């Protein structure tokens, strides 16, 4: 899978891939990262990429010309490329999107800065737009990294043990049950005794009950979805 980050600040992104699981996937040639700076395409004599907003309003907006030229070139090089814009004005990114997008061959993430990107660029080039939550970041780079990371774990060969994908939160409407590691007792706190007895069917029931408790507390709407799904299955 190839990822291209269209960004004014590739340094903010590159460091993330220099360690751990995603670095190993890059070393194994499973993931390929590329960077494209719209400033390199600017026809302005000072290489400017932003200007004041037409019609007034605070702050600067990213001009269409550098992004049009950069994205046109990118699309002409790969007709299968899937172009994703990061913006708060979009549907929220979900685990299902991560799984769906893991089947693509090449995704470009376009990160805005300042007050955002001239809307005509988004209209012309976006295959999809995503928000990563109801808050405003200073730029789209973090959002692009979040989405790239979530997609990458769903690509064959990226995780050491792909079994771990099946039991994670959001694979079903329920959040994952709490996990414990060794030692069994730590600073007067013990892991739940049922986890220690080796009866796997009882451990599964307890984990389900704990999952439901966590979901009820943090995401009650998800628990409702789980119960509705269960009652349909009966
Ligand atoms: N003026 C814009 C608004 O109110 O919707 C916010 C612009 S923000 C300061 C600059 C850039 O950060 C955006 O163009 C976008 O790429 C990125 N960004 C900010 N918050 C985001 C979010 N929640 N999800 C995805 N991208 C975000």
35 closest CA partner among 125, 172, 141: 141
Q: Which residue has its alpha carbon closest to ligand 1 atom 19? A: 137
Q: What's the gap in Å between 109 CA and the centre of ligand 1?
A: 13
Which of 55, 87, 134 has the most ligand 1 atoms within 8 A of CB, as the residue to mutate? 87
What pLDDT score does 164 carry?
A: 66
In the CATH scheme, what is the homologous superfamily, with its name and number, of domain 2-152? SPOUT methyltransferase, trefoil knot domain (3.40.1280.10)
| Average pLDDT value for the chain | 95
SS3 17: helix
Q: What's the gap in Å between 121 CA and the centre of ligand 1?
A: 15
What pLDDT score does 109 carry?
A: 99
Q: Which residue has its alpha carbon closest to ligand 1 atom 1? A: 115
CA angle 16, 22, 25 (to 5 degrees): 145
Q: What is the pTM of this model?
A: 0.94
Listing DSSP states for 102-165 in one string gives TT-SEEEEEE--TT-B-HHHHHHH-SEEEE-SSS--S-SHHHHHHHHHHHHTTSTTSSS-THHH
What pLDDT score does 130 carry?
A: 98
What pLDDT score does 230 carry?
A: 84
User: What residues are in contact with ligand 1 under a 6 Å CB criterion?
Assistant: 86-89, 111-113, 115-117, 131-133, 135-140, 143
What pLDDT score does 148 carry?
A: 98
In our burial notation (b when 16+ CB lie closer than 10 A, e otherwise), range 190-214 reads ebeeebeeeeeeebeebbeebbbeb
Query: Structural domain boundaries of the chain?
Result: 2-152, 169-233
Please identify every stretch of the chain with a pLDDT value under 70, giving residue numbers as ranges: 162-165, 167
Q: What's the gap in Å between 12 CA and the centre of ligand 1?
A: 16
Which atom of ligand 1 is the closest one to the Cα of 134? Answer: 23
* CATH 3.40.630.30 describes domain 169-233: no
5 closest CA partner among 148, 166, 114: 148
Residue 27: Cβ within 10 Å count:
9
């Amino acid at each position: 899978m190839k990822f291209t980050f269209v960004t004014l600040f590739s340094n903010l992104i590159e460091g993330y891939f220099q360690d751990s699981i995603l670095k190993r996937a890059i070393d194994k040639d499973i993931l390929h990262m590329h960077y494209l700076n719209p400033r390199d395409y600017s026809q302005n004599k000072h290489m400017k990429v932003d200007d004041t907003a037409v019609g007034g309003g605070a702050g600067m907006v990213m001009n269409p010309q550098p992004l049009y030229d950069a994205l046109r070139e990118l699309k002409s090089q790969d007709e299968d490329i899937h172009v994703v814009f990061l913006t708060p004005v979009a549907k929220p990114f979900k685990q299902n999107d991560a799984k769906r997008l893991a089947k693509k061959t090449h995704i470009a993430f376009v990160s805005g800065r300042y007050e955002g990107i001239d809307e005509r660029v988004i209209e012309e080039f976006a295959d999809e737009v995503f928000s990563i939550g109801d808050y405003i970041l200073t730029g789209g780079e973090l959002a692009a990294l979040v989405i790239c990371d979530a997609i990458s774990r769903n690509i064959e060969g990226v995780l050491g043990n792909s079994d771990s994908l099946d039991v994670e939160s959001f694979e079903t409407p329920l959040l994952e049950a709490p996990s414990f590691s060794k030692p069994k007792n730590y600073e007067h706190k013990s892991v739940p005794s049922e986890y220690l007895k080796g009866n796997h069917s009882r451990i599964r029931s307890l984990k389900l009950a704990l999952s439901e408790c966590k979901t009820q507390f943090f995401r009650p709407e998800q628990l409702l979805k789980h119960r509705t799904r269960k009652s349909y299955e009966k």
